[in-house]
Copies of this chain bind each other. A is one copy, B any other.
C-alpha cells in the first residue's frame, strides 16, 4: 500500500515550502509547475512528479492553488503537528539557533536550553533560562521533548546523544563535526556546516581551472 517516498523528494519539500511562502507573501493565488520551475531552477516535470507523491494537489488547465499547496506541504512536513525542542550547548552556535525566530514559524518550539558552564547557567536566551545539565533528566521527565539540538563539543557528543535518546527524544539535530549513530529508534540529522564550505572551495577551484 504505502509506497515509500524517496529521500531525494523529501529533501526538496522544504524548498517548495519556502517558495510557496514567498508567493503567498506577494499575494499570488495560483502557480503552474512551469512557472514554479522557472523560479526554482528545476524542471516542471520534477515538480509535478514530486508533488504527486503525496496526492493530486493540482488541477488541469489551472495549476496549483498556492495556499492549498502550501498548507498541504506544511502538513506533510509536520508544521501543523508542531515539535518541541531543546538546545544542549549554549555556546555560540547554540545561542545563534536559540535566537533564530524562523524555527517557530516552521513548527518547532524551543522549550529548554542546557549547558554545563556555570557562567552561562541562569542567563536567558530569547526568554528561556539556561539550565544546568544536571536538570536535564528532571526536565525531560516533566516535559515531552521531541527533538534535541546538540551544539556541544565533539568529544562529548555521543555521551550526550545517548543520554537524550535514553530519556526519550525522537530526533537529534547534531551540529558536532562527529557523525552520530545510535542504536535507538531515534532519527538523526547530522549538519556538518564546514562540509558545505569545503564543497564551496572545491567548486571555486574547479571554476577557476575551467576559466583558465
Whole-angstrom CA separation of A95 from B173 in the bound complex: 20
Choose one: B99, B107, B191, B208; the contact of A170 (CB below 8 Å): B208
Residue of chain B at shortest CB distance from A98? B92
Whole-angstrom CA separation of A207 from B116 in the bound complex: 32
Q: How large is the interface on A (under 10, 10 to 19, 20 to 34, 35 or more residues)?
A: 35 or more
The answer to whether B191 and A108 touch across the interface, beta carbons within 8 angstroms, is no
Whole-angstrom CA separation of A106 from B11 in the bound complex: 27
Q: Given the complex, which residues of B lie within 8 Å of A24, measured CB to CB?
A: none
Mask: chain A, 146-186; 1 = CB below 8 Å from B; 0 = not? 11000000000000000000000011010001010100010
Main secondary structure of the interface of A (DSSP, over half): helix
Whole-angstrom CA separation of A102 from B147 in the bound complex: 26
Query: 8 closest pairs, A vs B, by CB?
Result: A14-B195, A92-B96, A78-B201, A96-B96, A14-B198, A187-B203, A189-B200, A93-B96
Besides A100-B194, A185-B211, 20 other A-B contacts (C-beta < 8 A): A10-B203, A11-B199, A14-B195, A76-B202, A77-B198, A78-B198, A78-B202, A83-B204, A92-B95, A92-B96, A95-B96, A108-B197, A108-B201, A147-B197, A147-B200, A170-B208, A173-B200, A187-B200, A187-B204, A189-B203
